[in-house]
Structures are given as structure tokens and as C-alpha cells.
């Protein structure tokens, strides 16, 4: 989550996304782009650019064999595959960095992370289905707003935060929650931790992009 509202948020900084984001900013909108991996997307990092860099090495290699035709001498022609790949990665890195520079120049805010539109809504709906009317009395903190999306077993960190909340009676906040999604209507403990809360039980939901979900519940002995 980010600390301000934007006119336009683009998900993915591939050629489609970063160009749209820059155009939006040029038209006077406040724009953010969310990217989960590398600026420039498939094209700049794995597809168009690095493959063309590899092709260029192949082309030069081919030309070296034709040196004589051009009145040139080239002895001991060979290749170092590692160096060829390294050059390709270097070109990709340079262009991906160039996208970062372009976004900055056009005052587009870059947020590195995975954007999800449906996740919070579905979790809210799930909580409502499970707890019914009691959902209105629950506090739902998203610590992900502070430590990012935890992967695999690191989801245990969220459970540790839940246990600490139970022990200390302090609810961690959902940081940067300024503009709530109208479909997310629970008490998300926005922005400020809440202390002095008598908790009976806690539940930690970890929902993975790959579909491996874990829900852990703990209560006072
Ligand atoms: C080997 C190869 C060679 C190619 N060569 C050429 C070529 O020579 N010329 C050409 O025109 N095209 C080429 N292409 C095609 C080109 O790469 C694609 O058309 C182009 O990358 C599509 O751009 P895009 O922005 O739509 O998507 P992508 O480049 O796929 O970018 C999408 C971005 O969104 C991010 N993203 C996705 N979901 C989320 C989320 N939930 N939250 C945050 N970020 C997210 C991804 O990490 C990614 O960075 C090639 C492709 C390959 C694989």
C-alpha cells in the first residue's frame, strides 16, 4: 500500500504499463506504477532486449568469419558463452534502469511489490461469511502493509505478530490505509496501533498467490 491517493495506478511496468504511466503523468495525472519484479517487464528483462543482445553477439561472430572478404584478418575466433550471456544481462539491466529514470523524470511513483485488486475484497467476504454478524466486532490488521508480502514459510511472521498482539493487547495497524475500498468494510485498524485491547483469540490468514493458503488460530489458555 502507498501513503497517498493517485489519479491513476498502473499494475505492471512492462512496455504496456510504463508507457501508459508516463503518458498519464504527461497529461497531468498523479500516477503510480506497481511492479512485482523488474521495471521494463518481459520485454526489457527477458524477451526483446536480451535476446537481441544475444543475436548481436551471434551476428558479430558470423561477421568475424567473413573478415577476409572485408580485407581484414581475424585469427583464433571463438566465443565465451558466459561472457555473451553476461553482456546480454548487462544490456537488459541498463535499459531496465533507463525505464526507472524515465518514470522518475515524469514524476511517476514506482511501488515495487505485487498489486492485488481482488485479494482484500475476497478476504473481507470470507471473514463475513465465517463470522456473520460478529465480523463487525472483529479487528483485522494487515501487517503486510509494513513488512510486505511474505512468501512460503515466512508467513509465520504474521502469526508471531498475532501472538504478540494476544499477549500484549496491542493491535498492529494497517499502515497507509487512507482511502478504503468501498467493498472492504471491516475494522482494519487504520494507520495507528491500538493498545489496551482485551483479546480472547487471534486468527492469522496467509493467502499465497500460488493458491497455498494457511489459517492459524490461537486463543488464551
Ligand atoms: C523471448 C522473447 C522475445 C521477444 N522479442 C520481442 C521483440 O523482438 N519485439 C517485440 O515487439 N516483442 C517481443 N517480445 C514480446 C514482448 O516481450 C511483449 O509483447 C511485451 O513484453 C508485452 O508487454 P506488457 O507490458 O504487456 O507485458 P510484460 O512485459 O509481461 O510486463 C508485465 C509486467 O507486469 C508485472 N506484473 C504482472 N502482474 C503484476 C501484479 N499483480 N503486480 C505487480 N506487477 C505485476 C510483471 O512483473 C511484468 O513486469 C518477446 C517476448 C519474448 C518472451
CB-ligand 1 contact for 13 (6 Å cutoff)? yes
Q: How confident is the model at residue 1 (pLDDT cuts 50, 70, 90)?
A: very low
Please check the confidence at residue 179 and state whether its pLDDT lies above 70.
Answer: yes
Q: Residue 39 Cα, ligand 1 centroid: separation in angstroms? A: 10
Q: What is the mean pLDDT of the chain?
A: 93
Report how far residue 81's alpha carbon sits from residue 179's, in angstroms, rounded to the nearest whole number: 51
Percent of the chain clearing pLDDT 70 (strictly above) = 98
**Which range among 14-28, 113-127, 182-196 shows the weakest confidence by mean pLDDT?**
113-127
CB-ligand 1 contact for 34 (6 Å cutoff)? yes
> In this structure, which residue's CA is closest to atom 8 in ligand 1?
48
Taken in order of first residue, the domains within the chain and their CATH numbers are: 8-112 (3.50.50.60), 119-219 (3.40.47.10)
Q: Residue 185 Cα, ligand 1 centroid: separation in angstroms? A: 35
C-alpha R_g of the chain = 25
Report how far residue 145's alpha carbon sits from residue 175's, in angstroms, rounded to the nearest whole number: 5
Report how far residue 118's alpha carbon sits from residue 5's, in angstroms, rounded to the nearest whole number: 18
Report how far residue 140's alpha carbon sits from residue 63's, in angstroms, rounded to the nearest whole number: 64
Amino acid at each position: 500500500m502507498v501513503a497517498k491517493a493517485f489519479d491513476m495506478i498502473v499494475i505492471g511496468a512492462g512496455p504496456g504499463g510504463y508507457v501508459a504511466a508516463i503518458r498519464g503523468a504527461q497529461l497531468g495525472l498523479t500516477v503510480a506504477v506497481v511492479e512485482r519484479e523488474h521495471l521494463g517487464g518481459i520485454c526489457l528483462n527477458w524477451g526483446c532486449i536480451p535476446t537481441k543482445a544475444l543475436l548481436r553477439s551471434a551476428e558479430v561472430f558470423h561477421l568475424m568469419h567473413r573478415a577476409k572478404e572485408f580485407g581484414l584478418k581475424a585469427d583464433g575466433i571463438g566465443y565465451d558463452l558466459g561472457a555473451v550471456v553476461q553482456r546480454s544481462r548487462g544490456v537488459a539491466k541498463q535499459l531496465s534502469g533507463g525505464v526507472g529514470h524515465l518514470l522518475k523524470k515524469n514524476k511517476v511513483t514506482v511501488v515495487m511489490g505485487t498489486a492485488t485488486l481482488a485479494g482484500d475484497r475476497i478476504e473481507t467476504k470470507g471473514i463475513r461469511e465465517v463470522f456473520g454478524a460478529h465480523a463487525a466486532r472483529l479487528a483485522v490488521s494487515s501487517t503486510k502493509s509494513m513488512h510486505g508480502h511474505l512468501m512460503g514459510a515466512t508467513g509465520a511472521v504474521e502469526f508471531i505478530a498475532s501472538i504478540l498482539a494476544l499477549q500484549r493487547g496491542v493491535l498492529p495497524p494497517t499502515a497507509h490505509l487512507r482511502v478504503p475500498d468501498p467493498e472492504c468494510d471491516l475494522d482494519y485498524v487504520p494507520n495507528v496501533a491500538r493498545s489496551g485491547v482485551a483479546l480472547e483469540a487471534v486468527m492469522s490468514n496467509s493467502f499465497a498467490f500460488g493458491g497455498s493458503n494457511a489459517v492459524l488460530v490461537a486463543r488464551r489458555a
